[in-house]
């Protein structure tokens, strides 16, 4: 059940990312938009991998099952790390850059 | 001298390059995102802010890579058998290689971004098309970095020999990547 709910959330999140990237509300430079599209593609790939390995885990046995489960876990964690990009990391990086900027000014 | 915002562009390029690690008054404006964010919020146009937005993306990628490496290092110590451990080690190798390619890529890109205006001035001494290439060095390197940051999986998938050739130099730890199964 957890997997199904989080799959729905991840799908909606990815759709929203794509929408914002295409809409480009603050008129970012084209190279930044290309970067954002790359982020969308990365997320879709990880989501697909997670889904694939989850179904492989359900179907296989023994070492293969353990391996698929581990790959599923890793894909999902990497997707999680990708999706928290805009929330907390932006503050940390803004703070880091501000520190550097203050030091250099 | 340091209070003059046109200091860098009033000198020729080699001298500017020599002062790469010195304090520049407009350094803060160049790398601080907040001014650009305020600008974008009020005018609704961030097309002139690509340098600071890119630097933010790079720093965020740096933090994300670190999180991924931390997680994958924890996963290696799970007791799941050697086959699983080999899989995790391969993943760790991949993430580690991506991390290093990005870190190496930023070394020329960062000074090019900071001295973009000076390089543009300096490029006027050259005939076309060198003028265009030299004048847009910062933008060209940033495009390549964007590819490295966001499309590295596709770069490695498309050029497997490239990945194979660099991963040997960047071993994440002493233990071998391929572990024999029992």
Out of A45, A89, A97, the one facing B64 most closely (by C-beta) is A89
Work out whether the CA dihedral B167, B171, B176, B179 comes out positive or negative: negative
**What six digits make up the tokens of B111?**
């000074």
Separation of alpha carbons B130 and B75, rounded Å: 50
Least confidently predicted of A28-37, A39-48, B71-80? B71-80
pLDDT of B117 reads 83
> Does B118 or B47 have the greater pLDDT score?
B118
Closest-CA distance, B153 to chain A, in angstroms, reads 8
pLDDT-derived band at B154 (thresholds 50, 70, 90) equals: confident
Separation of alpha carbons B63 and B57, rounded Å: 10
- Residue B20 in domain: no
With beta carbons less than 8 A apart as the criterion, state whether B33 and A12 touch: no
Chain B residues within an 8 Å CB radius of A46: none
- Residue B27 in domain: no
State how far the alpha carbon of B24 is from the alpha carbons of A95, A102, B19, B163, in Å: 20, 11, 9, 38
With beta carbons less than 8 A apart as the criterion, state whether A39 and A18 touch: no
A27: left (phi over 0), alpha (psi -120 to 50) or beta: left
Closest-CA residue to B119 (of B94, B89, B141): B141
Separation of alpha carbons B32 and B22, rounded Å: 17
To the question of pTM greater than 0.80 for the whole model, the response is: no
Chain B residues within an 8 Å CB radius of A66: 80-81, 83-84
Instruction: Give tens-digit pLDDT for B101-145.
Output: 888 888 899 888 888 888 888 888 988 888 999 999 989 999 999
DSSP for A69-81, please give it.
HHHHHHHHHHHHH
Domain tally, chain B: 1
- Residue B22 in domain: no
Out of B25, B72, B80, the one facing A105 most closely (by C-beta) is B25
pLDDT-derived band at B5 (thresholds 50, 70, 90) equals: very low
DSSP for chain B, please give it.
-TT-TTTGGGS-HHHHHHTTTS--TTHHHHH-HHHHHHHHHHHS--GGGHHHHHHHHHHHHHHHHHHHHHHHHHHHTS-S-HHHHHHHHHHHHHHHHHHHHHHHHHHHHHHHHHTHHHHHHHHTTS-TTHHHHHHTHHHHHHHHHHHHHHSHHHHHHH-HHHHHHHHTT--SSSS-SS----
Q: What percent of chain B has pLDDT over 90?
A: 6
Separation of alpha carbons A103 and A85, rounded Å: 26
- Per-domain boundaries in chain A: 2-104
Give the domain extent around B74. Answer: 51-167
Residues sharing a CB contact under 8 Å with residue B48, sequence separation 6 or more, in sequence order: A29, B36, B39
Rg (CA), chain B: 21
pLDDT of B86 reads 83
ipTM passes above 0.90: no
pLDDT-derived band at B26 (thresholds 50, 70, 90) equals: low
Q: What is the DSSP letter of A60?
A: -
Out of B27, B63, B147, the one facing A101 most closely (by C-beta) is B27
Most confident of B27-41, B66-80, B128-142, B153-167: B128-142
pLDDT of A72 reads 92
pLDDT-derived band at B18 (thresholds 50, 70, 90) equals: very low
Which residue of B lies nearest to A74 if distances are taken between CA atoms?
A: B72
């Amino acid at each position: 059940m957890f997997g199904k709910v989080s799959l729905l959330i991840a799908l909606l999140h990815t759709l929203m990312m794509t929408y914002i990237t295409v809409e480009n509300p603050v008129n970012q430079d084209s190279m930044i938009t290309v970067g954002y599209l790359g982020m969308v593609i990365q997320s879709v790939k990880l989501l697909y991998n997670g889904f694939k390995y989850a179904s492989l885990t359900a179907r296989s046995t023994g070492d293969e099952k353990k391996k698929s489960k581990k790959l599923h876990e890793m894909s999902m964690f990497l997707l999680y790390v990708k999706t928290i990009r805009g929330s907390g990391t932006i503050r940390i990086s803004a703070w880091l850059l501000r520190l550097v900027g203050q030091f250099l000014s | 001298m340091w209070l003059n915002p046109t200091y860098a562009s009033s000198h020729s390029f080699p001298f500017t390059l020599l002062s790469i690690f010195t304090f520049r008054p407009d350094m803060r404006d160049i790398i601080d995102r907040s001014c650009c964010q305020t600008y974008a919020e009020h005018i609704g146009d961030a097309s002139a802010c690509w340098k600071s937005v890119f630097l933010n993306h790079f720093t965020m990628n740096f933090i994300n890579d670190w999180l991924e490496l931390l997680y994958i290092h924890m996963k290696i110590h799970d007791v799941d058998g050697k086959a699983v451990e080999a899989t995790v080690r391969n993943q760790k190798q991949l993430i580690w290689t991506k991390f290093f390619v990005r870190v190496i890529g930023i070394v020329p890109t960062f000074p090019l971004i900071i001295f973009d205006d000076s390089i543009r001035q300096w490029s006027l001494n050259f005939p076309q098309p060198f003028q265009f290439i030299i004048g847009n060095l910062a933008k060209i390197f940033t495009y390549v970095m964007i590819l490295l940051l966001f499309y590295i999986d596709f770069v490695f998938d498309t050029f497997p020999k490239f990945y194979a050739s660099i991963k040997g130099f960047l071993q994440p730890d002493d233990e071998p990547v391929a572990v024999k199964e029992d």
